[in-house]
A = this chain, B = another copy of it.
Amino acid sequence: MDKVNLAKKLSLIAERWSPRIVGAVNDFHVKLVKLQGEFVWHSHEAEDELFLVLKGRLRMQYRERVLVVEPGEFIVVPRGVEHCPAADEETHVLLR
């Protein structure tokens, strides 16, 4: 039941595209990740995925459009929807 400081946890992450679990709520994990560059196109069969941007700028590419997500904003990618996250600068994201 200790508190989690997002900036401290982020300072421990060196690699990009490698989510770290920082908490658990019910049966789901809260994760932090650093992004830069482009990931791969993929979808998740069983789970929606929340991206809350803490720093930088996330370009979430869907097949039919691109959403630019800035600090203090989040998106939820519904299960089954193809997406490809990208970021020009280093971008910090809380995932659920």
Contacts and interface: CB of A to CB of B under 8 A. Distances in A.
Contacts of A75: 1-4
A37 to B, nearest CB: 21
Contacts of A72: 5-7, 54
A3 B48 contact: no
Interface residues of A, number: 33
A74 B23 contact: yes
A24 interface: yes
A62 interface: yes
A78 interface: yes
A49 B86 CA distance: 30
Contacts of A78: 1
Contacts of A49: 25
Interface of A: 1-7, 23-26, 28, 30, 47-50, 52, 54, 62, 67, 69, 72-79, 81, 94, 96
